[in-house]
Amino acid sequence: MSEVKMEDIVSLAKRRGFVFQASEIYGGLAGFYDYGPLGVELANNIKQLWWQAMVREHDNIFGVDGTIIQNPKLWEASGHVAGFTDPLVDCKSCGARHRADHLADTDSTDLNELKELLKDKACPTCGKKTLMEPRKYNMMMKTWVGPVEDESSISYLRPETAGSIFINYENVRETMRAKLPFGIAQIGKAFRNEISPRDFIFRVRELEQMEMQYFIKPDIQQEVYERWREFAWKFLTERLGIAEDNLKWHEHDVKERAHYAAAAHDIYFKYPQGFKELWGTHNRTDFDLSNHSRVSGKDLSYFDEESKERFTPYVIESSVGVGRMLLAVLVDAYHEEEINGETRVVLKLAAHLAPYRVAVSPLLKNKPELVEKAKEVYQMLKKEFGNVMWDDNGNIGKRYRRQDEIGTPYCVVIDFDTLADNTVTIRDRDTTEQKRVEIKDVISSVS
């Protein structure tokens, strides 16, 4: 199949109510997107699957839900105030700002290296060779807490959810009587004042992350790191059904790694703009707990009763964005197919991800006896699955096209034969085949 284009995904997302530009009637706001009725269903299905695989299927992983704003000392201790930066380059002529590493087409964030690479580059906005020296730019969003807006009340919107996990490490360990190794997981919003948000929901300024920090004795770091890499790969391929050809590994070299990481492997997905980071696995060593111990004065070391040793736990982190995962799912599922000389767009989503599992239609909406029977079937399915759509708009062909585009795996149609013999037509999204099934067997047929 041909390559999926971003404009097709953006257009489908808007046309069918998955994703809208935030503040659209005011001209939008760069880097912010709202999820519509179908997008929120898809995102919720993704989050639930992750929570199931991460928290519910592990006896030693516990969930938390921390606040977006915490004591700003957290971000000093974690190194984000000093080090959560991206390299920025300004254009002297037009004032445009660009991500220096993106412009230089490199993974490196080393300022000297970037200066060298950008020496002869022109500004992509005005075309002039007037780029200034690259410099570091802090991406944390600031606000004030309380009525006085001064230095002492500055706080930050969290740039990653991990922070509130580290500072709750001791609370969770104590309340759950947890012994190493154990993990803490969280799904929540994070904010990054990205220099150039782009590629639809791939790089945004308000994002949602699903993160898990796994606390361990340092001597098992390698095997645990490998295990969480494998978890991420399996989740994408087996639970989300993403094609392996659309995924690849990328190992960070020293210059690319975040300030806290000793090792980092990303899974890249083949987005329309190319292979890009989707999910990171990082070895954060004892960086965070040591720093929080030092700055807060609270001892966060761990006493291992077996070896009688005291040490600061290491952390292996698994971190992925909900929006990037949702975009990957849409791109992977998007197909254009020729059927009877017509092109149909179909989202081949796994049934457990689809916003609606099944759509129910009366063949004709102006025949009360068909509508009544169809409502009965609709109620029966709604009780079973919850996410069932009533669709009586336009003719049957149009309804199928609409359901194909939003990834509904099955359409159930009630016609005049139904009134005579209690059978309905079930149409399969992927094969477009139709079969007659008795009403009592509909639930098992679409399960």
Return the number of the residue (5 or 259) whose C-beta is nearest ligand ATP.
259
Choices 112-120, 275-283, 390-398, 405-413 (CB under 6 A): range interacting with ligand ATP: 275-283
- Which parts of 136-175 interact with ligand ATP (CB under 6 A)? 160
Instruction: Indicate whether 72 belongs to the interface with ligand ATP (CB under 6 A).
Output: no
Q: Which amino acid is at 439?
A: I
Q: Does 224 bind ligand ATP (CB under 6 A)?
A: no
Largest CA distance in the chain: 79
CB of 83 to ligand ATP, least distance (A): 12
Residue 192 binds to ligand ATP (criterion: CB under 6 A)? yes
**Using the rule CB under 6 A, which residue among 233, 279, 378, 400 binds ligand ATP?**
279
Query: Which CB, 205 or 402, lies closer to ligand ATP?
Result: 205
Q: In this chain, which of 319, 361, 418, 423 binds ligand ATP, going by CB under 6 A?
A: 319
Task: Give the list of residues 6+ apart from residue 381 with CB closer than 8 angstroms, or none.
Answer: 358, 360, 388, 412, 442, 443, 446
Phi, psi for residue 320 in degrees, rounded to 5: -145, 145
Q: How far is the CB of 278 from ligand ATP (least distance, A)?
A: 6
Answer yes or no whether residue 261 interacts with ligand ATP by CB under 6 A.
no
280 is a site residue for ligand ATP (CB under 6 A): yes
Angle between helices 322-333 and 37-51 (to 10 degrees): 110
Name the 3-class secondary structure at 318: strand
Does position 240 interact with ligand ATP (CB under 6 A)? The reply is no
Cβ atoms of 283 and 260 within 8 Å: the answer is no
The full DSSP string for 81-130 is HHH-EEEEEEBTTT--EEEHHHHTT-S---HHHHHHHHTTPPPTTT--S-
Does residue 206 belong to the site contacting ligand ATP (CB under 6 A)? no
Instruction: Please pick, from the candidates 43, 103, 187, 278, the single residue that binds ligand ATP as defined by CB under 6 A.
Output: 278
Is 321 among the residues that bind ligand ATP (CB under 6 A)?
A: yes
d(CA 421, CA 249): 55
Rank residues 207 and 426 by Cβ distance to ligand ATP and give the closer one. 207
The count of other CB atoms within 10 Å of the CB of residue 104 is 21
344 - beta bridge partners? 337
Positions in the binding site for ligand ATP (CB under 6 A): 160, 192, 194, 203-204, 207, 209, 277-280, 319-321, 323-324
